[in-house]
Amino acid sequence: MTERAGVIILGSNSTRMLVADIPGLTRPVRGRVETRLFLGMDERQNMADDAIRRAAQSAGQLCSQAREEGAQRIFVLATSAARDARNTADLARAVQEACGCAPWILSGQMEARYAYLGAASAVPGDVGVIDIGGGSTEVVWGTGEDITYAHSFQLGAARLHAQHAIRTPQDIAPALELAANALGAFPQPIPDKWMLVGGTGAALKDIALRLPAASPTPEEFAFDRALVSEQLNHMASLTPEERLRVTGLPPGREHIFPTGLAVLLAVMDTLGIAQGTVTLRNNTDGFLYAYARGIV
């Protein structure tokens, strides 16, 4: 019997929604709101009231949209910023009030697992997945549903921006060094095929193809190291105001898109990845995939 289910995931940069028919994830409807939850944390790891309010409002907005799209059951999850914050309970209460249910706080390993299942479970052969978020980056690989390696690094577009913002081309090298040090070493061997999920990849696709921000098509886009490096150097030469005028870059990412590209470049160089594929499938797809199989 078909069930229509929805999931909302409060990420560190944006809040995403997916509604689809279970078990096949057919008739998908997606939604997304930029909320910048990670950048709303202070030096004591407390999320500001405004950041909590924005995140709860976005979750409530997307929950309403999910119900309008026929979702019979809705799940709300939260990732790195909620994991790290000292006042996660305040966020949970605000989301409970806005959505009618409290969020599940995902561990880094679960976040990696859902990113992998969403992006790669239907891709044949050995495949790796890179999920660049605001507060963390997940690197995971495997074959089909079987995961060989998964790790969540304390490295994301917003976290790196807070440590070393990229405002000029001269800021690139120190940012890359910080990112590489956070990654460390990886086990071998690694897959030849790689998928990139998350807002950095989606923006890279739209900018390269000169499409409006958050374009739903194409669902996949091939990129290589040269494109990432070119875009990073170009963005570093622009002011935040100038970046906002670049076709394809969503408002709210003008400060963190360069550091997201720096994280991607550091991962590619550390693992020796020459090219990959952006996919619009992500951890929302992975969660509903797992839910449909009773393995959440």
Q: Give the domain ranges of the chain.
A: 3-106, 117-279
Place of tokens 């693992």: 271
Region of 172 please: left (phi>0), alpha (psi -120 to 50) or beta.
alpha
Return the number of other C-beta atoms located less than 10 Å from residue 10's C-beta: 27
In the numeric block, which tokens belong to residue 193? 């095929």
Cβ atoms 198, 132 nearer than 8 A: yes
Full-model pTM: 0.95
Cβ atoms 259, 175 nearer than 8 A: yes
What's domain 3-106's architecture?
Answer: 2-Layer Sandwich (3.30)
In the numeric block, which tokens belong to residue 172? 């690139």
Helix (H, G, I), strand (E, B) or coil at 273: coil
Q: Tell me whether domains 3-106 and 117-279 share a fold.
A: yes
Cβ atoms 37, 10 nearer than 8 A: yes
End-to-end CA distance of the chain: 19
- pLDDT by residue for the chain (296 residues), tens only, comes to 789 999 999 999 899 999 999 999 999 999 999 888 999 999 899 999 999 999 999 999 999 999 999 999 999 999 999 999 999 999 999 999 999 999 999 999 999 999 999 999 889 999 999 999 999 999 999 999 999 999 999 999 999 999 999 999 999 999 999 999 999 999 999 999 999 999 999 999 999 999 999 999 999 999 999 999 999 999 999 999 999 999 999 999 999 999 999 999 999 999 999 999 999 999 999 999 999 999 88
In the numeric block, which tokens belong to residue 8? 């909302």
Look at residues 5, 15, 1 and name the one whose alpha carbon lies nearest to residue 282.
15
CA 102 from chain centre, in angstroms, equals 21
CATH class of 117-279: alpha beta
CA atoms of 134 and 36, how far apart (whole Å) = 8
In the numeric block, which tokens belong to residue 44? 């004591």
Q: What is the DSSP string of 143-188?
A: ETTEEEEEEEES--HHHHHHHS---SGGGHHHHHHHHHHHH----S
